Amino acid sequence: MPVERTLSIIKPDAVAKNVVGQIYTRFEQAGLKVIAARMMQLSAAQAEGFYAVHRERPFFRDLVNFMISGPVMIQVLEGPDAVAKNRALMGSTDPKKAEPGTIRADFADSIDANAVHGSDGADTAAEEIRFFFSGLDLCPRA
C-alpha cells in the first residue's frame, strides 16, 4: 500500500469534549503518524475558503458558523493508504449512520457537530494540507 498523507481536523465539538487525545490514539493504533499539527480558532474567511467547494450547498452557512464556534485541532496524518484509512476511522458523515466503533459513532452528536474532517481523496488531501501547512511544517519520520 502506498504511503499517503491526508488532512484531518478535529472539529470544535470534539475539542470542547476534550477527546483530542482519544482521537489521536485511534490514528496511532491504525498506523497513521501525526507529522504536523496546529490548534487554531478559524476566522469566517478561513472556514469559507476551506469549505469553498460546498459554498452553494444549503448547509454552508451552518457549517461555517459551526467551524468557527471554537478552536479546532488540525493535523497531517501519514501512513499506508492514509486517505481511505482515515475515512474508515471517521465513519459516515451523519453520526446516526456511522458504523459502531468509528470516531463519529463514538464522539459526534449530529451531522453538523460530527467531530472530524478528513480529506476524501489524494488530490483534495494535497490541496487541504497546503491550505494549512507549509512544507517546512511537515516532519515525516521513518
Query: Which positions lie near ligand GDP, rule CB under 6 A?
Result: 54, 59, 62-63, 93, 111-112, 114, 117, 120
Axis crossing angle, helix 82-90 with helix 122-132, rounded to the nearest 10: 80
CA 79 to CA 125: how far, in whole Å? 13
Least distance between ligand GDP and beta carbon 26 (Å): 16
Give whichever of 33 and 86 is closer to ligand GDP, judged by the CB atom: 86
Cell of 37: 499539527
Least distance between ligand GDP and beta carbon 66 (Å): 7
Q: Would residue 117 show up in a list of annotated catalytic residues for this protein? A: yes
Give whichever of 79 and 118 is closer to ligand GDP, judged by the CB atom: 118
Least distance between ligand GDP and beta carbon 139 (Å): 26
Strands ordered across the beta sheet of 33-40: 33-40, 72-80, 3-10, 116-118
Cell of 124: 483534495
CA 27 to CA 80: how far, in whole Å? 12
Active-site residue identified among 5, 11, 33, 117: 117
Least distance between ligand GDP and beta carbon 60 (Å): 8
Give whichever of 54 and 55 is closer to ligand GDP, judged by the CB atom: 54
Helix-strand-coil split of the chain, %, nearest 5: 45, 20, 35
Give whichever of 99 and 139 is closer to ligand GDP, judged by the CB atom: 99
Query: Catalytic positions, please?
Result: 117
